[in-house]
Amino acid sequence: MSTSLVWFKNDLRVQDQHSLHNAVASGNRVIAFYCFDPLLFGEGLFGFKKTEKYRAQFLIETITELKKSLEILNIDLLLYYDNESDVIPKVVQKYNVTDIYLQKEWTQEEAIIITSVRKKIPTITWHETYDQFLFHPDDIPYEDVSKIPNVFTVFRKECEKKATVRALLEPIQPLSATNRIENNTEIPTLQELGLDTFTIDARSAFPYKGGELQAKERIKHYFWETQKLAFYKKTRNGLVGVDYSSKLSPWLANGSISARQIYWEVKKFEKEIRKNEDTYWLIFELIWRDYFKYISLKYGNAIFKIGGILNKDYDWNSNKAALKQWIEGKTPYDFVNANMIELRETGWMSNRGRQNVASYWAKELKQDWRIGAAYFESILIDYDVHSNWCNWMYNAGVGNDPRDRIFNIKSQAERYDTQGKFRKLWLQNQLF
């Protein structure tokens, strides 16, 4: 029997999932595969683990849920803690895999892994699909990625006028029970991944678990039960609590939910409850997310280079003492300190906080912005390679910010934490 293998990466859902949908449509036996590749849990160039405990735990929870959802469809999820380039050829041989379905990737590390696997199994038919965009690359008003503008507003306005968001895929129906295989593979623990266990900090603004169903529960709460979506733009720069923003980014980052699913849920809300600037602003943020994916598609590895996509030659520093103070929240700014402590203790930081701590690191201290980006990559629950590195370029003045701004951190603290509630929460006994 010929077998189609769905290679899950950052598309960890069963609904609106093109690789899974296409594999089922192939008529072959369908098996699924996910690998906790040691490369993703080892040390990166700047001395931080590529994936720290917070995102790893969220990933474990996500995979646990994905496995159960696939079982309902009579599809087995094979799980490994091994090098993908070593284990996939073995799976291909064991299960007579003829076709591999996966999400299209283009950033350096992800592409290297896929290329190395391809070389080892040259007879396999590959089916790669762009499945992480709001606007599919075939639908944007640019003939090729080299034409993507370097200013977000131009991109946004053109896409809003000329591009459409594709409809969601129909839910997959369960396959025959004969599709099942013997599967004794297991999900590794944090300890097996070389990471520390932890308990969720009671102060966390993101106390949620990973998984497709958890993402839907969050949408249910934020959109329909509390209708906080109708106030999103007004509250999105908040700092304390679970509902100042949608908090959907961690599920979006690992693909537990698609940008399309969120978009169409917003449209449903606008039709049934209320349409205003706030509801539009969540779509606005989804377009920002798309834009950075297109920038990384356009510029490739330049997003990881010190000169960024502008190839600017700044005099960057690399001071270990400054890094330690920044990470530990011992800088001259209490607002930076509170945000950095929140990040260290929870794996989460608000949008407003991220801009301020990045501006401080890159613009005031003039430290190598890539070090800050690598630390965020390690510890953020919602790390997304495109958004993280492009946002850091933006804040460092080597990316897509035409104004090359520097944040007045004291003023920002007074404006967004007027009563000091956020700083009191994370600095507690410290005076400010």
358: pLDDT strictly greater than 70: yes
The Cα–Cα gap between 213 and 269 comes to: 19
Question: For the segment 219-266, what is each residue's pLDDT rounded down to a tens digit?
Answer: 999 999 999 999 999 999 999 999 999 999 999 999 999 999 999 999
CB-CB neighbours of 328 under 10 Å: 12
431: pLDDT strictly greater than 70: no
Domain boundary among 108, 131, 154: 131
Q: What is the DSSP string of 278-344?
A: HHHHHHHHHHHHHHHHHHHHHHGGGGGSTTGGGT-----B--HHHHHHHHHT-SS-HHHHHHHHHHH
Q: Is the overall model pTM greater than 0.95, yes or no?
A: yes
Same-domain pairing of 144 and 270: yes
Helix (H) or strand (E) holding 52: none
User: Is 173 a domain residue?
Assistant: no
Same-domain pairing of 232 and 350: no
Per the structure, the complete domain to which residue 124 belongs is given by 3-131
Domain boundary among 131, 154, 180: 131
Phi first, then psi, for residue 268 (nearest 5°) are -65, -45
Domain boundary among 271, 299, 327: 299
Mean pLDDT of the chain: 96
User: Is 199 a domain residue?
Assistant: no
Mean pLDDT across the stretch 309-313? 92
Question: For the segment 375-412, what is each residue's pLDDT rounded down to a tens digit?
Answer: 999 999 999 999 999 999 999 999 987 677 899 999 99
Give the DSSP letter of residue 144: S
Same-domain pairing of 151 and 293: yes
Give the DSSP letter of residue 141: S
Same-domain pairing of 255 and 387: no
Q: What is the DSSP string of 8-62?
A: -SS---SSS-HHHHHHHHT-SEEEEEEE--GGGTSB-TTSSBSS-HHHHHHHHHH
Instruction: Answer whether 19's CB lies under 8 Å from 131's CB.
Output: yes
Same-domain pairing of 312 and 248: no
In total, how many domains does the chain have? 3
H runs (alpha helix) in 28-133: 53-72, 84-94, 108-120
Same-domain pairing of 101 and 144: no
User: Is 181 a domain residue?
Assistant: no
Check residue 300 and give left, alpha or beta (phi > 0: left; psi -120 to 50: alpha): left
What type of residue sits at position 75? I
Q: What are residue 29's DSSP bridge partners?
A: 3
CATH number of the domain at 70, please: 3.40.50.620
CATH number of the domain at 270, please: 1.25.40.80
Same-domain pairing of 152 and 263: yes
Q: Which of 339, 328, 387, 399 is nearest to 363 (CA)?
A: 399
The predicted pLDDT at position 428 comes to 82
Same-domain pairing of 102 and 242: no
Same-domain pairing of 294 and 322: no
